[in-house]
Amino acid sequence: MVQKDLYTEKEIVAGCVKHERRFQEILYRMHARKMYGICLGYAGERQLAQDMLQEAFIKVFRKIDQYKGSGSLEGWIRKIVTNTAIDILRKNPVAGEFFSDDLMVIPDSTKNKALSDMETKDLLAHIARLPEGARVIFNLYALEGMTHQEIADKLNISSGTSKSQYSRARYLLQQWVDEPN
Amino acid sequence: MDFNNWYKNQIESNQEYPPDKVWEEIHNTLDIDLVWSKLDKEVPVASSQKTKWAIAPFVSIAATLAFFMVTASILLLLNFRSNQQSTVLAGETEIPVFMQSIGISEVLTRQPSSDLALASRSLPGSQSVPAAMRVSPMTSRYPLIATLVSFAQPVMITSDAVQPSAESRLYTSDIFSDDHEDAITPVRSFYVGMSGQLANTWLLNSKTIGGLQMYETTSTLASYGESFGFIAGKGISNRIHLEMGLDIISRKQQRYHEYIHGRFVETRLNMDYTKLSIHAGWNISPNSPFSLVAGMYSAYLRGAEFAINGQSNDVRLDYRRMDYGLLVGFEFSRPVLTNLQMGAGFYSHYGLTNIFSGNQSIPRNMGQTQLLSFHAGLHLRYHLK
């Protein structure tokens, strides 16, 4: 087991820039779980999430010399993970799948229900039911805090599409979460 | 709690750790990255050195040939100087020292000088050759040429009064016969001796040949191996002799400069053979010290090792026990003492069989390997009475 607490973030980054394997592993162990959760949110299933995580961290280590220390390292890694996840979904034949327009528009719910902790596998099951395009939009909005205009620019769609897809995804996900087992 | 915040919290507080195979895959990919980055840095350097390595094997062949030429020239020069210093005059004729060394001077000096004559060749149907061979201004200026000329012009020693003694017959067996060309060479006698050779050796396979290409990261390096053994032979006619050789030590080697596990290393395959050969020698002209040889060999592999940066592994089982092939060459040989001849030679040995027997990684037919070597060597032959 690597001793990640022995080193500062700066030392770890410096070690990664020198391609020193132990520092690369420390960096990976520090962020793997959280970034894996994000990948699960985009992928909806474990195998694809693992592929996303692997690809993302390879990019992290290849580009680590571009990290200049402005902003948090986690934020920098997270950006790479998110972009990698979206890139991988774009390569997927069913990527870009959205809710069809004939579905009823769901207004954004403002009511706060009592939401309890949920096991990963149950949440994954619900996320997997969302169309991939809608899932990406929901994650970008809910996880990354992006605006609909930013999402529209990133995914090359209209902001209206982003809004409607997000609303439908959120509504359905909330319904499914609230449903008793 | 807002659903979005709840969702974000659920995702980011994920307690599930990715399986270890993810890190292993990342690790493997980064290893490959390291190799490529090293290649990017080192291949341009290697390419610049490649020119040097690529010509090295050819230079080594030239060096082997040059070694033979130098050795032969030294022997010729020594022979010529001895000729100048130890001449036996019969009238105005000078007798080269090699004739003395094989007993002719003894024959000459035992006889009354009046009985001796270096006569013009007056064989039926042949042209006359001036009897007296003098050191002309030209030959003194160009000693090597002079020596070659003296070798190329056989001297006839005749005497009406003198009958050849048993001793003189041993070395000049055909002096009084119709074929006078071998008057000074101890032909048809049985001889034994020893030989030592330095060989520029090649394992002819795809790796070696590929290593000569400019774009390959593997470079084939000049490789040498030594041989030492014993010889025995007999002249079977005035210009042809048969010789057998047993090389107790016959080393073959092939060296490479290879890119392995991210760095350049020197690798080398050493093979120790015991070799039995038989060849025929054919003098290019009567009494010439030069002869062409051709024959065949069979070799037994005693051991083989593959070394990477000095660390060696036994690979004898990867190679076949027996090899056989053809040999051709060019020899120079002259008497240096009574009964003793010394010479130099340049030979090429070419293996006819695939010596690779295959291993767990490469099947036999995929690792086709033949031996090729260029030898420069010295030999001593002692003629038995």
| Interchain pair A40, B10: CB under 8 A | no
User: Rounded to the nearest 5 degrees, what angle is found at the Cα of B159, between the Cα atoms of B154 and B165?
Assistant: 90
CB atoms within 10 A of CB A116: 7
User: How many angstroms away from the CA of B53 is the closest CA of chain A?
Assistant: 32
Are residues B238 and B265 located together in one domain of the fold? yes
Tokens coding A117: 């902790």
| Interchain pair A25, B23: CB under 8 A | yes
pLDDT at B274: 95
User: How many angstroms away from the CA of A70 is the closest CA of chain B?
Assistant: 23
Residue B17 is nearest to which of A25, A32, A141, comparing CB atoms?
A32
Tokens coding B151: 């070798």
B24 touches A: beta carbon within 8 Å: no
Q: Containing H/E element for B311?
A: strand B311-314
pLDDT at A70: 82
**Residue B257 predicted with pLDDT over 50:** yes
pLDDT at B131: 41
| Interchain pair B22, A170: CB under 8 A | no
Q: In this predicted model, which residue has the larger pLDDT, B107 or B342? A: B342
Q: Containing H/E element for B307?
A: strand B290-308
Q: Which of B126, B141, B171 is the last residue of a domain?
A: B171
Tokens coding A63: 């580009």
CATH class of residue range A96-181 = mainly alpha
A41 touches B: beta carbon within 8 Å: yes
Mean pLDDT in chain B?
74
Q: Which of B122, B145, B171 is the last residue of a domain?
A: B171
Domain span at B116: 87-171
Residue spans of the domains in chain A: they are 4-91, 96-181
pLDDT at B183: 41
Cα separation, B42 vs B48, whole angstroms: 10
Phi, psi for A86 (deg, rounded to 5): -65, -40
Cα separation, B304 vs B271, whole angstroms: 4
Q: Closest residue of B to A117, CA-based? A: B10
Q: Closest residue of B to A46, CA-based? A: B18
A32 touches B: beta carbon within 8 Å: yes
CATH architecture under which domain A4-91 falls = Orthogonal Bundle (1.10)
Are residues B252 and B301 located together in one domain of the fold? yes
Cα separation, A12 vs A122, whole angstroms: 35
Residue by residue, DSSP assigns B264-293 as EEEEEEEEEEEEEEEEEEEESSTT-SEEEE
AA letter at B48? S
CA A60, A63, A66, A70: dihedral to nearest 10 degrees? -10
Residue by residue, DSSP assigns B16-52 as PPPPHHHHHHHHHHHHHHHHHHHHHHHHHHHHHHHHH
Are residues B67 and B127 located together in one domain of the fold? no
B32 touches A: beta carbon within 8 Å: no
Nearest Cα to Cα of residue B323 among B250, B222, B236, B237: B250
- B11-21: pLDDT as tens digits: 888 888 999 99
Are residues B213 and B94 located together in one domain of the fold? no
Q: Containing H/E element for B372?
A: strand B370-383
Read off the pLDDT band of B118 (50, 70, 90).
Answer: very low
AA letter at B320? R
- Mean pLDDT of the region B37-47: 63
CA A41, A45, A48, A49: dihedral to nearest 10 degrees? 40
pLDDT at A181: 56
Question: Are B241 and B233 in contact, with CB atoms under 8 Å apart?
Answer: yes
Are residues B48 and B114 located together in one domain of the fold? no
pLDDT at B128: 41
Residue B118 lies in a domain: yes
Tokens coding B49: 């050195």
Read off the pLDDT band of B46 (50, 70, 90).
Answer: low
Q: Do domains A4-91 and A96-181 have the same CATH topology?
A: no
A179 burial (CB, 10 Å; 0-12 / 13-18 / 19+) is exposed
| Interchain pair B1, A115: CB under 8 A | yes
- Does the complex come out with an ipTM higher than 0.90? no
| Interchain pair B3, A109: CB under 8 A | yes
Distance of alpha carbon B356 from its chain centroid, rounded?
23
Sequence-distant (6+) residues with CB within 8 A of A180 are none
Q: Give B-chain residues touching A19 at CB under 8 angstroms.
A: 30, 33-34, 37
Question: Are B341 and B380 in contact, with CB atoms under 8 Å apart?
Answer: yes
Are residues B142 and B167 located together in one domain of the fold? yes
Given a cut of 50, the residues of chain A with pLDDT beneath it are 1, 104, 110
What end-to-end distance do the CA atoms of chain A give, in Å?
39
Read off the pLDDT band of B327 (50, 70, 90).
Answer: very high
Question: Are A21 and B27 in contact, with CB atoms under 8 Å apart?
Answer: yes
Nearest Cα to Cα of residue A177 among A97, A119, A99, A100: A119
User: How many angstroms away from the CA of B31 is the closest CA of chain A?
Assistant: 9
pLDDT at B133: 42
Beta strands in B107-239 (DSSP E): 190-204, 219-221, 224-235
**Residue B178 predicted with pLDDT over 70:** no
Question: Are B305 and B312 in contact, with CB atoms under 8 Å apart?
Answer: yes
pLDDT at A110: 47
Q: Closest residue of A to B22, CA-based? A: A54
pLDDT at A40: 92
Question: Are B367 and B355 in contact, with CB atoms under 8 Å apart?
Answer: no
Residue B261 lies in a domain: yes
Residue B6 lies in a domain: no
- B53-102: pLDDT as tens digits: 566 667 777 777 777 777 777 777 766 666 665 554 444 444 444 444 44
Q: Closest residue of B to A30, CA-based? A: B17
Residue A36 is nearest to which of B16, B21, B29, comparing CB atoms?
B16
The number of domains in chain B is 2
User: How many angstroms away from the CA of A169 is the closest CA of chain B?
Assistant: 11
Q: Closest residue of A to B6, CA-based? A: A115
| Interchain pair B23, A117: CB under 8 A | no
pLDDT at B10: 85
Are residues B45 and B155 located together in one domain of the fold? no
Are residues B128 and B193 located together in one domain of the fold? no
Read off the pLDDT band of B24 (50, 70, 90).
Answer: very high
Residue B69 lies in a domain: yes
Are residues B70 and B91 located together in one domain of the fold? no
Max CA separation in chain A (angstroms): 57
| Interchain pair B14, A118: CB under 8 A | no
CB atoms within 10 A of CB B20: 8
pLDDT at B79: 65
Residue B60 lies in a domain: yes
Q: A45-49, A119-123, B158-162, B201-205: which range is least confident on average? A: B158-162
- B264-304: pLDDT as tens digits: 788 999 999 999 999 999 988 877 888 999 999 999 999 99
Are residues B227 and B292 located together in one domain of the fold? yes
Are residues B223 and B357 located together in one domain of the fold? yes
Proportion of chain B above pLDDT 90, given as a percent: 32
> Which B positions 37-66 lie with beta carbon below 8 A of chain A?
37
A54 touches B: beta carbon within 8 Å: yes
pLDDT at B310: 79
Are residues B193 and B166 located together in one domain of the fold? no
Sequence-distant (6+) residues with CB within 8 A of B97 are B79, B82, B83, B85, B86, B87
Whichever domain contains B209, its CATH number is 2.40.160.20
Question: Are B195 and B228 in contact, with CB atoms under 8 Å apart?
Answer: yes
